[in-house]
Amino acid sequence: MIPVGDIELETVVAGPPDSGKLAVLLHGFPELNVSWRHQIPMLAERGWRVWAPNMRGYGASSKPKGVDAYSIDILREDIGKLFDAARAEAPAGETLLMAHDWGGAVAWAYAIGKVRPLDRLAVCNMPHPATFGRALKLSSKQKRRSWYMGMFQIPRLPELMMTAGNARAVRRAFRGMAAHPENFPDELLDIYAEAAQRPGAMTAMINYYRAAARMAGRRESGAGILSEGGQVDIPTLLVWGTGDTALGLETLDGIDQFVPNLERKFLPGISHWVQQDAPEEVNRIVADWLDRAGV
């Protein structure tokens, strides 16, 4: 457990302990840091010190009460403090933030807000907040894909639906969407289901969506991370499984306006759970991107 302000984050640590190269990996909903089980050893073997937390509300990490405890500003500051803790243990060097889904939303916000110095950003199947917001307004297809975000605003009912039947909905979310269901064995789904059923966990996990909805209302009045400009100027890699049934490709329209130093890699037919569904391909893409940068 890593102390991060007034909470603790359950964190997997791998790689050379004295390496100056630091990679922090952020999972999505309803995942855990085990979602990076294929990427952690790849990065560690390349000399990166890897920290992969269970984000607040997940696993054994702290689960503060209240929707506002899961606002994007608080979530991205958690990651800043995690970088601080990691940096206290080894000399400063190259920093990489790699993230998926909700972790990707936090990573975009982190990079936009320049919460701490960051050298590289890699995001899997999560669009930039500006292009995602635009798609939610203009694309009827994306509105239909994102129906669950509205459902999650209802008190208590979503928690019951997601955890009923030994978290049957969580299990189905992974294997039912996957291009390669064999990459989601029962023992892995058991880990996700057990974590989702811990006391307070599902409410905390869904509070990410509830806090985001509140922020969307404030954004109309000029508040929120996009008031910071939305620019991400550091080298950025976007890995995208085109079989994503939650996020359409239209959510990426106009992204170059905000991320000029962007490299995009598409994996045809691969699901939203891209780094788990096609781990070898994702590892190859990330390794090549790092190789060409000399890191």
70 carries an active-site annotation: no
Q: Which two tokens stand for residue 279?
A: 């781990």
209 carries an active-site annotation: yes
Determine the Cα–Cα distance for residues 93 and 139; give it in Å rounded to an integer.
42
Q: Choose the catalytic residue: 27, 100, 128, 272.
A: 272
Left (φ > 0), alpha (ψ -120 to 50) or beta: where does 150 sit?
alpha
Which strands make up the sheet holding 11-14, listed edge to edge? Answer: 11-14, 49-53, 22-26, 95-100, 120-124, 236-241, 262-267
The answer to whether 122 touches 289, Cβ cutoff 8 Å, is yes
The answer to whether 121 touches 48, Cβ cutoff 8 Å, is no
208 carries an active-site annotation: no
Q: Choose the catalytic residue: 27, 70, 101, 208.
A: 101
Amino acid residing at 8: E
How deeply is 80 buried, as exposed, middle or buried, from its count of CB atoms within 10 A (0-12, 13-18, 19+)?
middle
Cβ neighbors of 267 (< 8 A, separation 6 or more) are 239, 240, 241, 242, 274, 278, 281, 282
For every residue of 198-252, which 3-state class applies, written as one string? CCCHHHHHHHHHHHHHHHHHHHCCCCCHHHHCCCCCCCEEEEEECCCCCCCHHHH
- Nearest CA to 123 out of 219, 216, 251 is that of 251
Identify the residue whose tokens are 């990459």.
Answer: 183
Rounded to whole angstroms, what are the CA distances from 51 to 11, 121, 130?
Answer: 6, 15, 28
Q: Choose the catalytic residue: 58, 192, 208, 209.
A: 209
- Nearest CA to 229 out of 89, 135, 129 is that of 129
Which residues are tagged catalytic? 101, 209, 272
